[in-house]
Amino acid sequence: MKKNRENSKLQFERAQKVIPGGVNSPARAFKAVGGNPLFIDKAVGSKIIDIDGNEYIDFVNSWGPHLFGHKPPFILEAIYKALEKGISFGAPVEGETKLAELIIELVPQVEMVRMVNSGTEATMSAIRLARGYTGKNKIIKFEGCYHGHADSFLVMAGSGALTNQAPTSPGITAGVLNDTLIARYNDLKSVETIVESNNDIACIIIEPIAGNMGVIKADDDFISGLRRICDENDILLIFDEVMTGFRVSPSGACGLYNIRPDLICFGKIIGGGLPVGAYAGKKEIMQHISPSGKIYQAGTLSGNPVAMASGIATLEFIKANLDLYEELERKGAFLENGFKQVLKKYDLNYFISRVGSMFCLFFIDTEVRNYDDAIKCDTELFSKYFWSMLDEGIYLPASQFESYFISLAHSNEDLENTIKAFEKTIKNFNVSIG
What pLDDT, in 10s, does the model give residues 308-347? 999 999 999 999 999 999 999 999 999 999 999 999 999 9
The per-residue pLDDT for range 8-32, each reduced to its tens digit, is 999 999 999 999 999 999 889 998 8
Question: Which of 268, 282, 331, 384 is labelled catalytic?
Answer: 268
For residue 88, pLDDT beyond 80 = yes
Calculate mean pLDDT across residues 351-366.
Answer: 97
Q: Select from 3.40.109.10, 3.90.1150.10, 2.170.270.10, 3.40.630.30 the CATH code of 6-70+324-427.
A: 3.90.1150.10
Instruction: Say if pTM beats, i.e. exceeds, 0.85.
Output: yes
| β partners of residue 263 | 238, 281
Q: Compute how many other C-beta atoms are within 10 angstroms of the C-beta atom of residue 59.
A: 23
At residue 168 the predicted structure's pLDDT band, cuts being 50, 70 and 90, is: low
**Domain boundary assignment for the chain:** 6-70+324-427, 73-320
Q: Would you identify the CATH topology of the domain 73-320?
A: Aspartate Aminotransferase; domain 2 (3.40.640)
Higher-scoring residue by pLDDT: 109, 173: 109
Sign of the torsion angle spanned by Cα atoms 77, 273, 210, 129: negative
- Interatomic CA distance for residues 202 and 132, integer angstroms: 9
Question: Which of 50, 58, 179, 240 is labelled catalytic?
Answer: 240
Long-range CB contacts for residues 8-11, cutoff 8 Å, separation at least 24: 8/36, 8/37, 8/38, 8/39, 8/50, 8/51, 8/52, 9/36, 11/39, 11/51
At residue 157 the predicted structure's pLDDT band, cuts being 50, 70 and 90, is: low
- Determine whether 257 is an active site residue: no
Short-list 126, 81, 87, CA closest to 280: 126
What is the model's pLDDT at position 43?
98
Q: What does DSSP assign to residue 353?
A: E
What is the model's pLDDT at position 156?
60
- Interatomic CA distance for residues 61 and 394, integer angstroms: 12
At residue 428 the predicted structure's pLDDT band, cuts being 50, 70 and 90, is: confident
Residue 428 has φ and ψ, to the nearest 5°, of: -130, 60
- Determine whether 365 is an active site residue: no
- Determine whether 98 is an active site residue: no
What is the model's pLDDT at position 176?
82
At residue 434 the predicted structure's pLDDT band, cuts being 50, 70 and 90, is: very low
Question: Which of 56, 133, 146, 257 is labelled catalytic?
Answer: 146
For residue 180, pLDDT beyond 70 = yes
